[in-house]
Structure 1
Amino acid sequence: MSLERTDYPQMARELAEGRLGPEGFSHRAHLGVAYEILSAHEVFDAMAIYARGLRQLASAAGVPEKFNATVTLGFLSLTAERMANGNYDTAEAFLDGNADLLAPAPLSALYGAETLGSDLARRVPLLPRMG
């Protein structure tokens, strides 16, 4: 079992450069790295950097099927929105102030499990169904 990494600025650089390994890259670390990348880049640039790095990480770890475009875009959008509406000086402050994003399946209110687990959701960022 690897220890969870919390050096989010360094992890963000490694992810952007395609050098981040899966060791210690927990769900909390995913969000901490997202915070750092969104803090350093315009939102659409940040989304491209993060998604590209995450897809590369999953492939390098031998689990390319774990990359999910819908989940990635959903979490990045929620993170960017919370950052814009709050005042967070660090990734840790952001994570402490948004514990609901760390709970299991925070996107389940928007998507069914079947949708999130679909091949289409892994390839294309899907929007929630209306009505």
Structure 2
Amino acid sequence: MSRANSEGRSDYAVMAQELSAGTLGPVGFSHRAHLGVAYEMITRHEVFEAMAIYARGLRALTEAAGVPEKYNATVTLAFLSLTAERAAAKDYESTLQFLTENDDLLSSNVMAHYFSPALMRSDLARRVPLLPRRD
């Protein structure tokens, strides 16, 4: 399997349009693609508008895929907030440059710095975006 296939699709601008329109399918929508689409939306819309569009699209995608329980409002908004913060701190020439220079956001445990595993798995975290807690 090629690197592009193992990491999912990489046409992030197209995927952002598809997510906004509700036509994005789950095949190839890897974590890297989630982040690339988030960057595309954050750089093309006002931050709260981008968050609303992305969250609505992602929730619809998980429902259409038959896995609505995979949507997590806390994770979604936390990643979007980190993406917006990083995008505002530096001018990136492309989504690829953003992903390359922020590869820590691709780590499976990046949210562990902000949330306990139990909190992340909670029904409440799936339904509403929670703030980080120091437990």
> TM-score higher than 0.5 here?
yes
Letter paired with 1:96: T
Gaps of 5+ in 1: none
> Which residues of 2 match residues 1-12 of structure 1 at below 5 A?
3=5, 4-12=8-16
1:108 is paired with a residue whose SS is helix
- 1:43 correspondence with 2:43: no
Q: Which has the larger helix fraction?
A: 2
CA RMSD of aligned residues (A): 1.4
Question: Aligned partners of 2:79 and 2:62: how far apart in 1?
Answer: 17
> 2:85 corresponds to which residue?
81
The offset of 1:43, in angstroms, is 0.1
Unaligned runs of 5+ in 2: none
Number of matched residues?
131
Range moving further from structure 2, 118-127 or 1-10: 1-10
Q: CA deviation at 1:86?
A: 1.3
Say which SS state the counterpart of residue 82 (structure 1) adopts. Answer: helix
The residue correspondences of 1:98-113 to structure 2 (distance < 5 A) are: 98-113=102-117
Q: Show the 5 A alignment for 1:1-131.
A: 3=5, 4-130=8-134
1:32 CA displacement: 0.2
- The normalised TM-score by structure 2 is 0.93
